[in-house]
Homo-oligomer: A and B are copies of this chain.
Amino acid sequence: MSVTAPAGFAAAGVTAGLKKSGGLDLAIVANLGPLANAATVFTSNRCKANPIIWSQQVMSDGRVSAIVLNSGGANCYTGSIGFQTTHATAEAVAEQLQVSSGDVLVCSTGLIGEQLDLGKITAGVFDAGVALKDAAASSAAAGLAAAQAIMTTDTRPKQATQVSPAGWTIGGMAKGAGMLAPGLATMLVVITTDAVLSSAQLDAALREATRVTFDRLDSDGCMSTNDTVSLLASGASGVDADPEEFTTALTNLCRDLTLQLQGDAEGASHDVAISVRNSASETEAVTVARAVSRSNLFKAAIYGNDPNWGRVLAAVGTIPEADAAFDPYGIDVAINGIQVCTAGEPDQPRELVDLTPRAVSVVIDLHAGTVGATIWTNDLTHDYVEENSAYSS
């Protein structure tokens, strides 16, 4: 179960013909109420796709009745024609569901710089609208179809659920396999809940949850133009959720989806958690971990099962002093539990490090404070190069 796990939601995934593969490529998630509260986080990329520009307008009143998502085209850098396509998509959904088009979020993912076929989209929206009127639209199968319809180079759908003993539920689905970097990733995420929360409460919870989950996934350093994380609340449980408990559950759900995205990153053979300890601040810990996660040399070494801690420190050293306090010769590095460097000198032999498992832990102790943070990344592999030199989904 995912987006249909909470009460008050219906979902559909259909084939509109946008993907060359002929697979499911258009999804709608409808909020059946009684509430229509919502919050969203969008990409911080200045080159925003047309669906982002549209959806930002929709969010001005914090009210969302439905979200429509397509794979097979990003509708980014497609000018005024592209914006008209997004607008017409929202209108088609509004007509099918008898809601206001101003309450319909639109998300697109795929190649940048090519127009979407509006005829195929409106036909797909019609098919999805028919499916949504069926009682089965609130089933787990319907949620799964929606999760499949938003996949691009993903090899599997990503879903997660959190159930509170207080009587409310959160469900979520995500797509994203490349261009995974902060602010956010090439990533579309739809989260639903039947808890009773205001749009302002949802917004606060979503910002806190994404800050420590999706924003700390940095698979390949590339930031997309289309990223959207949306959180829709139906209130159908009738239970007023405690905001703190809700934020914790939402963070757990977002972490679950984040790790699913990491585990399915394009071409990756290792999931690498880079943890910085004893930093002067959380922000500085993130800066240090992110610098390592961006080093192609480090990432290629991990692919080759080479515990090359010199490349870790070389990456750490690129950070200006104003951005992170540390003594470059006082740093410890452990890889998969073996402390290979202590205070900037070789410690345990690198031969002791076993990098054959997919999960890799790199721990960097700055000895500069008391806080820490983790960035999740992947290795740089032949398959990454292959997939991204031939990408045209």
For the complex, give the distance between the alpha carbons of A253 and B331 in Å. Answer: 39
Give which listed residue, B220, B309, B313, B345, contacts A296 with CB less than 8 A.
Answer: B220
Question: At the interface, yes or no: A189 with Cβ under 8 Å from chain B?
Answer: no
Write the nearest CB–CB distance from A350 to chain B, whole angstroms: 8
Do the beta carbons of B114 and A346 come within 8 Å of each other?
yes
A125 CB → nearest B CB, Å: 25
Interface centre among A77, A78, A220, A384 (most CB of B within 10 A): A77
Measured as residues with beta carbon below 8 angstroms from the partner, the interface class of chain A is 35 or more
Contact in complex: B385, A385 (CB < 8 Å) = yes
B interface footprint on A28-54 (CB within 8 Å = 1, 0 otherwise): 000000000000000011111000000
A76 within 8 A of partner (CB): yes
Give, as a whole number of angstroms, the nearest-CB distance from A355 to chain B.
11
For residue A183, which residues in chain B have a CB less than 8 angstroms away from its CB? 318
Distance in angstroms between the alpha carbons of A76 and B329 in the assembled complex: 10
Please list the 5 inter-chain residue pairs (A to B) with the smallest Cβ-Cβ separation, ordered nearest first.
A112-B310, A304-B389, A47-B317, A300-B388, A79-B345
The yes or no answer to A344 lying at the interface (CB within 8 A) is yes
**Complexed CA–CA distance, A300 and B346 (Å):** 34
Determine if A304 and B390 form an interchain contact, defined as CB atoms under 8 angstroms apart: yes
| Partner-contacting stretch, out of A64-72, A95-103, A221-229 | A221-229
A10 within 8 A of partner (CB): no
Interface centre among A223, A296, A308, A346 (most CB of B within 10 A): A296
For residue A294, CB closer than 8 A to chain B, the reply is yes
Residue of B nearest to A331 (CB): B47
Whether A111 pairs with B310 at a CB distance below 8 angstroms is yes
Whether B314 and A222, one on each chain, are in contact in the complex, defined by CB atoms closer than 8 angstroms, is yes
| A315 contacts partner chain B, Cβ-Cβ < 8 Å | yes
Copies per complex of this chain? 2
Q: Please judge, given known A-B contacts A77-B341, A78-B346, whether A46 and B319 are in contact too, CB under 8 Å.
A: yes
Please state if B76 and A224 are interface contacts (CB–CB under 8 Å). Answer: no
Is A338's CB within 8 Å of the partner chain B? no
Binding site for B on A (CB under 8 A): 44-48, 74, 76-79, 111-114, 178-179, 183, 220-225, 294-297, 300-301, 303-304, 306, 308-311, 313-319, 321, 328-329, 340-341, 344-346, 350, 380-382, 384-386, 388-392
Q: Is the CB of A310 within 8 A of B382?
A: no
Q: Is the CB of B77 within 8 A of A313?
A: yes
CB closest residue in chain B, given A390: B304
CB distance A318 to B45 under 8 Å? yes
Known: A381-B385, A385-B300. A310 touches B74 (CB 8 A): yes
Cα–Cα distance between A294 and B218 once the two chains are bound (Å):
14
The answer to whether A310 and B113 have CB atoms under 8 Å apart is yes
- Which B residues are CB-close (under 8 A) to A316? 46-47
Apart from A77-B313, A301-B391, A382-B382, what 11 extra A-B contacts exist at CB < 8 Å?
A: A77-B345, A78-B346, A112-B310, A222-B315, A297-B388, A300-B389, A303-B385, A303-B389, A306-B389, A382-B386, A384-B385
